[in-house]
Amino acid sequence: MVVCPMSIMNSLEGLVLEEEGTDENHPVKVFTRSVEAAIDVRLHYHKSVEINHFDGAIGELRLGRRTYEIKSLSAIVVPPDLIHSYKLPAQTGTIEVTHISVRHLHQWITEQAIQGFFASVPETRLVWRRDSNGADGPGRIADGATPMSALAHLFTVMELLGSGASTMTVPQHHSWLREVIDRTEKEFAEPIDLESIASTAHLTRSAFARAFRRETGQSYHSYLLQVRLEHAKHMLSEGKTVTEVAAESGFADASHFVRRFRGAFGVTPRRFQQELTTKRTSREAP
């Protein structure tokens, strides 16, 4: 097991690196997600099974086509490839996140078998509420997990999920939505208009706009802006200038970038860099 205590940054790292560090000998990764400032975790998906345990955390979770209040939940399971997002205000609550890498458990079970299982699990079984009157939920994984204990943990979760009878299945996002997200993450710095991105989904512009909002709860333009701003934060944290960041994150010019950044985060990019430097200095101080 890879244990990785961490705080979420409003950056690429919180999404891209979540699954890194898992392999055939370490198929499980556990870390604690704490939030020092209000953030939006943009639309994303994983190839692993993600299990979240909430400890006093508040916020909203978008899973499939539904939105849940985190404060009313004790645990939630996110199947492989299911697109989801979070909105988390500044708080002291934490989320313990477990990633079980399905592809690295292939010696014992195929990835297709687990994905096939989740394709028929009722969505309501993925969520455990705090007021569920003692309903079963996935237990926290023990320290020192081995591939076999990780597999046992996954089977336990699957048994709990599969025990509820229902005709409603988990809304399965079409592959076009993952392709749109993948393309946006790769090409966010380039000009992307609605007609161009709609072609990725093999839809007309109007049909794509409706489908994207239906599946994600937001417009494509708001999602694209979020991707650009979060990548911009990451670049600012690396010390790049405002002009450089504007050019490398897809904004028309520096003034446009500053307006958008301040509108989203309440501070200018330069002020953000100054506050980040102050925080880093205070952490390094003896």
Tokens of 203: 């839809």
In this prediction, residue 165 carries a pLDDT of 45
SS3 69: strand
Ranked by mean pLDDT, the top range of 31-45, 76-90, 189-203 is 189-203
**pLDDT exceeds 50 at position 225:** yes
In this prediction, residue 145 carries a pLDDT of 60
Would you say 136 and 93 are in contact if contact means Cβ atoms under 8 Å apart?
Answer: no
In this prediction, residue 271 carries a pLDDT of 95
Distance of alpha carbon 265 from alpha carbon 262, whole angstroms: 5
Q: Where are the domains of the chain?
A: 2-162, 175-281
- The residues, ordered by sequence, that sit 6+ positions from 161 with a Cβ below 8 Å of its Cβ are 77, 118, 121, 125, 126
28-37 pLDDT tens trace: 888 888 877 7
**pLDDT exceeds 70 at position 131:** no
In this prediction, residue 40 carries a pLDDT of 82
Higher pLDDT pick, 155 / 92: 92
- The residues, ordered by sequence, that sit 6+ positions from 103 with a Cβ below 8 Å of its Cβ are 47, 111
Tokens of 246: 């504007």
> For 175-281, which CATH superfamily applies?
Homeodomain-like (1.10.10.60)
Higher pLDDT pick, 119 / 6: 119
Mean pLDDT, the chain, whole residue set: 80
Tokens of 41: 């975790």
* Percent of the residues in the chain that have a pLDDT greater than 90, as a whole number: 36
Distance of alpha carbon 121 from alpha carbon 279, whole angstroms: 44
**pLDDT exceeds 60 at position 167:** no
Alpha-helical regions (H) of the chain: 13-16, 111-118, 147-162, 175-187, 194-200, 205-216, 220-237, 242-248, 254-265, 269-284
SS3 102: helix
* Percent of the residues in the chain that have a pLDDT greater than 70, as a whole number: 79
* CATH architecture entry for 2-162: Sandwich (2.60)
In this prediction, residue 93 carries a pLDDT of 85
**pLDDT exceeds 50 at position 11:** no
Distance of alpha carbon 73 from alpha carbon 60, whole angstroms: 10
Residue 125 pLDDT level (bands cut at 50, 70, 90): confident
Residue 263 pLDDT level (bands cut at 50, 70, 90): very high
Query: How many residues are listed for the chain in this entry?
Result: 286
Q: What mean pLDDT is predicted for residues 264-272? A: 94
